[in-house]
Homo-oligomer: A and B are copies of this chain.
Amino acid sequence: MSCNPTDPLQRQVASLVVVRASGSMHDSQRRYPQWELNNAQLQDLLQRGVGGVILLGGSAVELQQRTRQLRRWSEQPLLLCADVEEGVGQRFEGGSWLVPPLALARLHARDPQRSLALAQRYGQCTGEQAKRCGLNWVLGPVCDVNNNPDNPVINVRAWGEEPETVAALASAFQRGLSSSGVLGCAKHFPGHGDTTSDSHLDLPVLPHNRARLDQLELRPFKALIEAGVDSVMTAHLLLPQLDPQRPATLSRKVLTDLLRRDLEFNGLVVTDALVMEAITRHTGAAEAAVLAFEAGADLILMPADAAAAISGISQALSEGRIPLQRLQTALQRRRETLERCATADDSSPNIVDQAHQALEQELVQASLQLHPSSGIPAAKGINLIRIDSVWPCPALGGKAPALHHPQILGYQPVLIHPQGLSPWRLDPEAPLALELLGDGPVLLQLFLRGNPFRGERDRREPWRAAVRQLQDQHRLAGLVIYGSPYVWDQLKSELDPAIPAAYSPGQMPEAQQQVLQALLQGKITSNDTADFTD
């Protein structure tokens, strides 16, 4: 069947497709132009009946305009969503960017009541800001149990390392989110916590059987389903014990038999992005969408080719490969879910209110760890900063505290990132090429949390040996980890107790500010740079 925008069946199918677009208004502003439709394509697809858009990039205020524009371009109510698991500011400048969920799991062990209250405010803050930006669907909470510290893609995004903690905190987040009237999404079903490969790059295999899943991975999902979560997102994982042929996203055994029948979930099932390598490496664009829909998904997220996905599913329906009843059920679920959620509250450009600012600060404060010490001394030294990438780099772009505060004490910033010169040499005991840095003490700040698309790269960096090397040479002035608690635990064990050190799960400027306020002990002034224009 070819793509025919006036065909009523195709229009119905189109409403179940969610395409990707930039949160910025102009084509030239797209951050990932190869994955983000241009405005002409987007307008065309919305006019053909495409029913949802996932947005990324730009500012929160611009997103208000963007979502208004998308609603104008569509004849039907739209699902407008974003991956704002860590607050709207994680993806859209100007929103609140909150510490990653795993921070609250650590707090939960010490103070469960406070942790649960914070998780609920976390959800409420995210929902309120999403609604002010014109979004009606937050793609969270993550319900994966991070019981594998080497997980390259879940990691600090998880609400815990045990199923009870994840179930409790993710439910609290969902309660907060619901109170704002914005839809939530439990992900990645049936559980992405125990993998060591990145499904953005290849298909991970999970060897567990149903009994083990019941005991561990499924428990948070059961809790969220019981709490009435609006949608569940599938994982691109192969679970041979459940279905040796097909990854969860494309598996009827996982989506229909397990999720619908056994777990009695009756809300929207949405695929994870079908453009991910775990799917595209093995299955064509139209066929992946057909298989996912056939398996039990209601919504098709980011198909590699939206028009092909629409005509593929339409053809499978009209040929009887998929019963029409499946379509009617999915449409009805979409309709009912949309009726339940609040309308956009985008009349004011004030996205962030004081309660949100206080929450962002409190979350940083509650999760900060300080290595007892006397503070970093003033010296002509080096502020060595390790980042994943320079563009994007939401933690540092601009006048971030991590870059600028240490300058007041004499520490000049040197950035280490994959697109710069390498600081490494081939000596496993002394892997940092210190001759490249020049003389003086080194304040080491590592922004390292385990982000997608990085595969093994982060784990191969020998920071443990580098910390020993700097310490042996009496050149380590201080150490800060922003992100992974696992890296912090590892490096802390190497540290001389006299070395000032700190850990924050957050990478945002607020985390840098609080960390450096403590380590620099009040020597921060605001006016530390002269330049005022580009």
User: Given that A61-B25, A62-B61 are contacting pairs, would A452 and B421 also be in contact in the complex, using a CB cutoff of 8 Å?
Assistant: no
The interface residues of chain B lying within 8 Å CB-to-CB of A390 are 390-391, 393, 415
From A280, which residue of chain B is reached at the shortest CB distance?
A: B530
Tell me the minimal C-beta distance from A510 to chain B in angstroms.
9
Q: Verify A61–B534 contact, CB threshold 8 A.
A: no
User: Given that A29-B93, A59-B29, A399-B32 are contacting pairs, would A273 and B532 also be in contact in the complex, using a CB cutoff of 8 Å?
Assistant: yes
Cα of A527 to Cα of B275 in the assembled complex, Å: 13
The interface residues of chain B lying within 8 Å CB-to-CB of A60 are 26
Q: Verify A201–B530 contact, CB threshold 8 A.
A: yes
Cα of A351 to Cα of B29 in the assembled complex, Å: 12
Q: Verify A532–B391 contact, CB threshold 8 A.
A: no
Q: Verify A532–B423 contact, CB threshold 8 A.
A: no
The interface residues of chain B lying within 8 Å CB-to-CB of A391 are 390, 393, 396-398
A162 at interface by CB-CB < 8 Å: no
From A525, which residue of chain B is reached at the shortest CB distance?
A: B34
From A392, which residue of chain B is reached at the shortest CB distance?
A: B534
Cα of A217 to Cα of B338 in the assembled complex, Å: 66
Tell me the minimal C-beta distance from A59 to chain B in angstroms.
5
The interface residues of chain B lying within 8 Å CB-to-CB of A34 are 399, 526-529, 532
From A389, which residue of chain B is reached at the shortest CB distance?
A: B534
Q: Verify B61–A24 contact, CB threshold 8 A.
A: yes
User: Given that A528-B34, A534-B451 are contacting pairs, would A349 and B65 also be in contact in the complex, using a CB cutoff of 8 Å?
Assistant: yes
Q: Verify B61–A65 contact, CB threshold 8 A.
A: yes
A377 at interface by CB-CB < 8 Å: no
The interface residues of chain B lying within 8 Å CB-to-CB of A277 are 530
Q: Verify A25–B534 contact, CB threshold 8 A.
A: no
A437 at interface by CB-CB < 8 Å: yes
A6 at interface by CB-CB < 8 Å: no
A509 at interface by CB-CB < 8 Å: yes
Tell me the minimal C-beta distance from A110 to chain B in angstroms.
29
A533 at interface by CB-CB < 8 Å: yes
Tell me the minimal C-beta distance from A40 to chain B in angstroms.
12
User: Given that A26-B352, A32-B532 are contacting pairs, would A421 and B419 also be in contact in the complex, using a CB cutoff of 8 Å?
Assistant: no
Q: Which of A32, A91, A509, A527 has the most CB of B within 10 A?
A: A32
Interface residues of A in 392-438 (CB under 8 A from B): 392-394, 396-399, 403, 413-417, 419-423, 436-437
Cα of A278 to Cα of B409 in the assembled complex, Å: 26
Q: Verify B532–A24 contact, CB threshold 8 A.
A: no
* 0/1 interface trace, chain A 32-71, chain B, CB 8 Å (1 if under): 1111000000000000000000001011111011000100
Q: Verify B421–A531 contact, CB threshold 8 A.
A: no
* 0/1 interface trace, chain A 267-296, chain B, CB 8 Å (1 if under): 000000101010000000000000000000
Cα of A451 to Cα of B532 in the assembled complex, Å: 12
Cα of A58 to Cα of B394 in the assembled complex, Å: 14
Q: Which of A65, A526, A531 has the most CB of B within 10 A?
A: A531
Cα of A533 to Cα of B301 in the assembled complex, Å: 14
**In-complex Cβ contact of A421 among B26, B91, B436 (8 A):** B436
27 A-B pairs in the complex with CB atoms less than 8 angstroms apart: A24-B94, A25-B59, A25-B349, A25-B350, A26-B60, A26-B351, A28-B352, A28-B509, A29-B59, A29-B94, A32-B531, A32-B532, A33-B526, A58-B59, A61-B65, A65-B349, A200-B532, A275-B532, A277-B530, A390-B390, A391-B398, A394-B534, A397-B397, A413-B419, A416-B420, A417-B420, A453-B531
Q: Which residues of A contact B (CB under 8 A)?
A: 20, 24-26, 28-35, 56, 58-62, 64-65, 69, 83, 89, 91, 93-94, 200-201, 273, 275, 277, 349-352, 390-394, 396-399, 403, 413-417, 419-423, 436-437, 451-453, 509, 526-534
Nearest 10 CB-CB pairings of A with B: A26-B94, A453-B531, A35-B532, A421-B421, A420-B420, A25-B61, A391-B397, A390-B390, A29-B94, A61-B62
